[in-house]
Structure 1
Amino acid sequence: MELRTLRYFVAVAEERHFGRAAARLHMSQPPLSRAIKQLETDVGAVLLLRSAAGVTLTPAGEALLAEARALLGQADRARARVATAAGAPTLTVGILGDSADPGATRLADTYRRQHPDVEVRVRDTDLTDPTCGLRAGLVDVALTRGPFDETGLTVRELRADPVGAVLRADDPLAGRGRLALADLAGRRWFRFPDGTDPVWQAYWHGGEPREGPVVRAVQECLQAVLWNGTVGLMPLGHRPPGELVVVPLADMAPSPAVVAWKTVTPLVRSFARLATAAYRA
């Protein structure tokens, strides 16, 4: 198994859709499908069940997903250590899985113009680690959102985003102009795995323990609402598929979009400065 193929598989598994995974990987869909077929041949098991709505993981796929994430994490750590030892001008940026943000696009353009000799490596992370690998030393700087445990990190707010409840369009509450958390009492929520940062988890669970399907990626959150009628929270600036709506919550504090780092370097300092300007433009 090649690391590249494992990255392809993780993208499809997290997006639950070949088209979205191909867009995330900046490639066309046919070679992605062929790569996954070859991977299934290599491991001798069906990993994904395909349908018009997307894909679901088989038990073998679930097992490989956990192993693939661990292997890719090890590879990222090795790559970062080698680059550091070689003194190459690189910057590894962690980006949370929900960050299809115009501010990030502006930042990429500006950073490339000002640092054309720097190789920027991007590490997409799922929703279980809001620091995007900062504490594990997998990235130099993170574009993410709060709140989360900031111990040992420097965190700079870029923008504050109001949040709302994401619901099926046919949900009885979907037509309301505004909701309160009390309106969602007794409902099943999508929730993050045990062991996720407690500050982060408490915020996105609306300040209370929740029951419902466990999710790791943005698409898993949306699919949990679509298929199971569960509820959860989402920044209002995000546009879900047409079958879902986001209704503003009156009693939830905004979620800040932030840039965060553990160790300051000239490249990180410049990145943070440019990020502040790009997100507030």
Structure 2
Amino acid sequence: MDLRLLRYFVAVAEERHFGRAATRLHMTQPPLTRAIQQLEADLGTPLLLRSASGITLTAAGSTLYDEARALLAQADHARARVTAEAGAGSLTIGTLGDSIERAYAGTSLATAFRHRHPGANVRVLEADFTDPTTGLRAGLVDVAVTRAPFDDTGISTRVIRSEPVGVVLRTDDPLAERPLLHLADLDDRTWFQFPDGTDPLWRAYWNGVKPGEPLREGPVVRTVHECIRAVLWNGTLGLAPLGHELGSLGHETPDGLTVVPLADMPPSRVIVAWRTGDANPLVHSFVELAAPADRRRRSPG
């Protein structure tokens, strides 16, 4: 199969819309539509169901989507290996929200990497909270700056830093004036949670329970903005890393919200992760720059 057609198909499958997919691919919609039709003709089966409400995948389309992502990742990896041997190379970095910015406040990982590999092509992809590996397990990225815990089978990790965790509350919440809270103080409250299929260790941690325990019930969220809206509009509770300054949601706590430290919540570990056994020299160089031995020794938690 033509890798170009597979890239087109993956874009349409993820965007669920030909117009948005065409914009993402920097092309117009008619040739994209023709390309998908050609792919369906080549495979002899419909891949997409088109309707006024949008696009859905057929069973065959869902299967192709999984296979296409794996094939494209393998092709990208092969290209990276070859070009790296030729002295340039490419690296795709997955991030979870502002993981890189929070981990390297006051330093420049990008500057150090560019200085060491001036000819390398670097892409940064941001994932939502439903995939703590930020595309690493799916083969979409080469290395990830993300947060533990999650199932790290087949994945190597190094801790960059650890951060205390607090509970996000509306400022008019009766608990918002407390200087410190415990998880037991929040047992009768509604929490946000992540969708079914999300890594169970990750879901349990950010839901304030131990792995294997029943999850606290509440609305399903996927991004920081959805978490914030759930707290502001419905008084839902959620957790957030506090970083250097207690009471910060990333950089600046939104108006109407506050973050109260939790005394009995394990710290959130910012990590660099890569596929165990990956021979891409750019991956190992990035890991060395992201988590040097002296920083790992200083990292609390």
The TM-score with structure 1 as length reference comes to 0.71
Q: What is the CA distance between 1:84 and its match in structure 2?
A: 3.4
Instruction: Measure the CA separation in 2 of the matches of 1:61 and 1:219.
Output: 28
Correspondence for 2:197: 195
Q: Does 1:230 align with 2:236?
A: yes
**8 Å Cα contact 1:191/1:212 also seen in 2:** yes
Measured on the aligned residues, the alpha-carbon RMSD in Å equals 3.5
Instruction: Measure the CA separation in 2 of the matches of 1:66 and 1:147.
Output: 32
Q: Does 1:241 align with 2:254?
A: yes
Paired letter, 2:77: T
Q: Does 1:103 align with 2:96?
A: no
Correspondence for 2:33: none
Instruction: Please list the CA deviations of residues 92-136 of structure 1 after superposition, one character each: whole Å capped at 9, or x if unmatched.
Output: 111112424251762112111111111111111110111111111
Instruction: Measure the CA separation in 1 of the matches of 2:226 and 2:194.
Output: 11
Match of 1:221 among 214, 219, 227: 227
Corresponding pairs, count: 231
Q: Does 1:209 align with 2:215?
A: yes
Instruction: Please list the CA deviations of residues 54-93 of structure 1 after superposition, one character each: whole Å capped at 9, or x if unmatched.
Output: xxxxxx99966999xx999988766544433442311111
Instruction: Measure the CA separation in 1 of the matches of 2:230 and 2:174.
Output: 17
Which moves more between the two structures, 260-269 or 99-108? 99-108
Which moves more between the two structures, 257-266 or 71-80? 71-80
Paired letter, 1:122: V
Bigger CA radius of gyration? 2
Correspondence for 2:158: 156
Instruction: Please list the CA deviations of residues 9-46 of structure 1 after superposition, one character each: whole Å capped at 9, or x if unmatched.
Output: 97xxxxxxxxxxxxxxxxxxxxx9xx89xxxxx9xxxx
Instruction: Measure the CA separation in 2 of the matches of 1:234 and 1:161.
Output: 10
| Aligned pairs for 1:31-110 within 5 A | 80-86=73-79, 87-88=82-83, 89-99=89-99, 100-101=101-102, 103=104, 106-110=108-112
Instruction: Measure the CA separation in 2 of the matches of 1:96 and 1:61.
Output: 33
Q: What is the CA distance between 1:185 and its match in structure 2?
A: 1.1
- Structure 1 residues 61, 182: closer, same or farther in 2, change over 3 A? farther
Instruction: Please list the CA deviations of residues 141-183 of structure 1 after superposition, one character each: whole Å capped at 9, or x if unmatched.
Output: 1100011111111111111111000111111111111100011
**8 Å Cα contact 1:148/1:197 also seen in 2:** yes
Match of 1:253 among 266, 272, 291: 266
Paired letter, 1:114: R
**8 Å Cα contact 1:103/1:279 also seen in 2:** no
Residue aligned with 2:283, SS: helix
Q: Does 1:272 align with 2:274?
A: no
**8 Å Cα contact 1:177/1:248 also seen in 2:** yes
Residue aligned with 1:138, SS: coil
**8 Å Cα contact 1:103/1:278 also seen in 2:** no
Which moves more between the two structures, 158-167 or 72-81? 72-81
**8 Å Cα contact 2:92/2:141 also seen in 1:** yes
| Identity within the alignment, % | 53
Instruction: Measure the CA separation in 1 of the matches of 2:159 and 2:97.
Output: 18
Instruction: Measure the CA separation in 2 of the matches of 1:62 and 1:172.
Output: 43
Residue aligned with 1:219, SS: helix
Residue aligned with 2:288, SS: helix
5+ residue gaps, structure 2, are 1-6, 25-29, 31-50, 84-88, 244-249
- Structure 1 residues 65, 230: closer, same or farther in 2, change over 3 A? farther
**8 Å Cα contact 1:161/1:255 also seen in 2:** yes
Instruction: Measure the CA separation in 2 of the matches of 1:61 and 1:77.
Output: 30
The TM-score with structure 2 as length reference comes to 0.67
Correspondence for 1:29: none
**8 Å Cα contact 2:96/2:146 also seen in 1:** yes
